[in-house]
Amino acid sequence: MRFSEYLVPTLREVPAEAEIVSHQLLLRAGFIRKAASGVYTYLPLAFRVLARIKAIVREEMDRAGGQEIGLPIIQPAELWLESGRWNVYGPELFRLKDRHGRDFCLGPTHEEIITELVKGDLRSYKQLPLLIYQIQNKYRDERRPRFGLMRGREFIMKDLYSFDRDEAGLDASYRKMYDAYTRIFERCGLEFRPVEADSGPIGGSVSHEFMVLADSGEGTVVYCPDAGCGYAANIEKAIGRPALSGADEELAPREEVVTPGLKTVDQVTAFLGVGAERLVKTLLYEAPDGVVAALVRGDREVNEIKLQNLIGVDQLEMADAEIVRRVTRAPVGFTGPVGLDVETIVADEEVMVMVNCITGANKADTHYRNVNPGRDFKPDLTADIRVVDDGQVCARCGAVLQSRRGIEVGQVFKLGIKYSKSLHLTYLDEQGEERLVVMGCYGIGVSRTMAAAVEQNYDADGIIWPVSIAPVKVVVVPVNMKEQTQVELAERVYRDLWAAGIDAMLDDRAERPGVKFKDADLVGYPVRVTVGKKAVDGEVEVLRRRTREMQVVPVVGPEWGTPYPSARTFLTASTSSFTGTTCISRVRRRSTSTSPSTAFLPTVTRTG
């Protein structure tokens, strides 16, 4: 690989469209180019990173018993209508018609079509369990594509589906995939955390997300710092222990308080001289079956995912001012649970242990003081419907929860019989009785993993690729292409690297050294070998990108052609197999081989 012959169109300026670090650096370093909103072309360096990630994924899927296939991107609407998801996905589903007017979609996921495939050939319990996976492009018409590869309309994904006889079989398949995902992200050199998650439109009973920890992440991971507990969940799923508010007080008589023009929590609590934890917020939502009221403490937020799951709807919309006035006979800002006439009132569990709280009075410019649940209002449902974030208390052990931002790169689901029931996927057991197949689904965002790796591994100069997924492990930079000694030694180092099984890039451009060094840092090669003035002595400079540690290493002896011993076998093994989180550890010299120019190569050690 010679830079002069390779397509690496680096940019000096940050593109205006790029919002986060990975988007900026992947554009600047010549990895991707935008084709349309949310659609990107992968240039050669990106293609190499993606190939390395795919190779790791394939190895671990095959190791777990998976079989790779290729499913169609274009899927018939009939299957989606049969599963009930044609309308659930809504406008995110790319829909199209063929010349005969038949409806199709571009696959955002493949539960329907994989179920139909297996249904055509599965007969007996003897054919189970079955693990089938694919790696291909997926399509979702995002309302607002952004952040480059993080939220696009076209993306690369691996999805595996498990088919088992029963829940015990599903548990075993789920554990296999959970463990395989842990190995995959370790081998990719990423800091990550598996967390409990909501299943969303995929459905199912149990789900975990694998979150790469990064400040730019769209998601939030809530976790318990107690190592003995280990609780972790995304913010949509996180639960906490209910906090008490005024529990030691005697119940006081309810009374009206005039609050002229005071609509917000801050305004009302400041006027009444109480904390936000003493107020109950009443939020109204439009649901398919009517208006739903959600009650949470004034210092909490409603978790709409929990609320949707609790009442069994796919979508909720915040009620507008007209609906609020119709239901409460008051403007927005004065809604409360006392006397409220709606289809469903749902109270967070914290609300039910509050004493003498403040609520809206369903009357303009008026609130109630000393409202008590049970005495003054009775909700239809009580559950945890609040957003649980850091500072709240772990429901399992009582420690104070903490949070970090994260990027979802993988998710595993226990689907159960959701799709086998709707699409009639069955098998015959030992007694010849027909049983529903129990399914699981396991996805990894391959292109998103590449972007997440950049979000976690960069500095002011550019990308710092983990060794295991770097597009090229070593760049060889001759300082002066007019100096024959430097050019010849650079060529020799370059050839010997490839001969040792270590891929390298030779920057043979007639550019200033500073330009080459800047591009090397921007692209993020783990190791840079500089061939400069010391070439006459058979020496090169070796720089480790992550630590900036530099060492002068002799490559050949003072008489040209006399090689220094090196460790070709050891180094080749070190740079081609990665079993965990990896880093370049140190420069080694060994005396077990006669290859002249591999002494400076990085060894790789597990660090976590």
pLDDT digits (tens, 9 = 90+) for 437-488: 999 999 999 999 999 999 999 999 999 999 999 999 999 999 999 999 999 9
Tell me, what DSSP letter sits at residue 242? P
548-565 pLDDT, tens per residue? 999 888 886 544 444 444
Answer whether 488's CB lies under 8 Å from 226's CB. Answer: no
Q: How many other CB atoms are there within 10 angstroms of residue 498's CB atom? A: 13
Query: Which pLDDT value is given to residue 201?
Result: 55
- Predicted confidence at residue 198, as pLDDT, reads 72
**What is the three-state SS of 415-478?**
EECHHHHHCCCEEECCCCCEEECEEEEEEEEHHHHHHHHHHHCEECCEECCCHHHCCCCEEEEE
Q: What is the pLDDT of residue 171?
A: 95
Tell me: pLDDT of 587 over 80: no
pLDDT in tens, 358-368: 999 999 999 99
pLDDT, residue 246, reads 62
d(CA 229, CA 395): 10
Mean pLDDT of the chain: 88
Q: pLDDT exceeding 90 applies to what percent of the chain?
A: 75
- Contact by Cβ (8 Å): 404, 221: yes
- Where along the chain do the CATH 3.90.960.10 domains lie? 255-383
Question: What is the C-alpha separation between 82 and 425, in angstroms, rounded?
Answer: 12
Q: What pLDDT score was predicted for residue 230?
A: 86
Check pLDDT > 90 for residue 594.
Answer: no
Q: 108: cis peptide before it, omega within 30°?
A: no
**Residues above pLDDT 70, as percent of the chain:** 90
- Looking at 9-94, which runs of residues are DSSP E strands? 32-36, 39-42, 67-68, 74-76
Q: Determine the residue type at 440.
A: G
Quick one: CA dihedral 353, 354, 355, 360, positive or negative? negative
In angstroms, the Cα distances linking 219 to 189, 393, 578 are: 20, 20, 28
| Length in residues, the chain | 608
Ranges assigned E (strand) in 1-68: 32-36, 39-42, 67-68
Each residue of 296-305: pLDDT tens digit?
Answer: 999 999 999 9
Residue ranges, CATH 3.30.930.10, the chain: 15-190+419-455
pLDDT tier at 589 (50, 70, 90 boundaries)? very low
The pLDDT tens digits for 202-218 are 555 688 999 999 988 88
Tell me the pLDDT band of 190, cut-offs 50, 70 and 90.
Answer: very high
Task: Please report, for residues 129, 357, 418, 471, the alpha-carbon distance to residue 123 in angstroms, rounded to integers and kept in the order given.
Answer: 12, 61, 19, 45
Q: Provide the token pair at 291.
A: 């208006």
Please report, to the nearest 10 degrees, the dihedral formed by the alpha carbons of residues 324, 330, 334, 337 taken in order.
-70
Write down the residue that tokens 């190499």 correspond to. 48
Q: What is the pLDDT of residue 556?
A: 64
Beta carbons of 74 and 107 less than 8 angstroms apart: yes
Residues of the chain with CATH 3.40.50.800: 467-606
d(CA 534, CA 229): 56
Tell me the CATH class for 255-383.
Answer: alpha beta
What would the mean pLDDT of 563-568 be, rounded to a whole number? 41
Q: What is the pTM of this model?
A: 0.83
CATH class assigned to 467-606: alpha beta
> Residue range 106-112: average pLDDT?
94
Considering the segment(s) 15-190+419-455 as one domain, its CATH architecture is 2-Layer Sandwich (3.30)
- pLDDT for res 228: 87
- In tens, the pLDDT along 231-262 reads 998 888 899 998 876 667 899 999 999 999 99
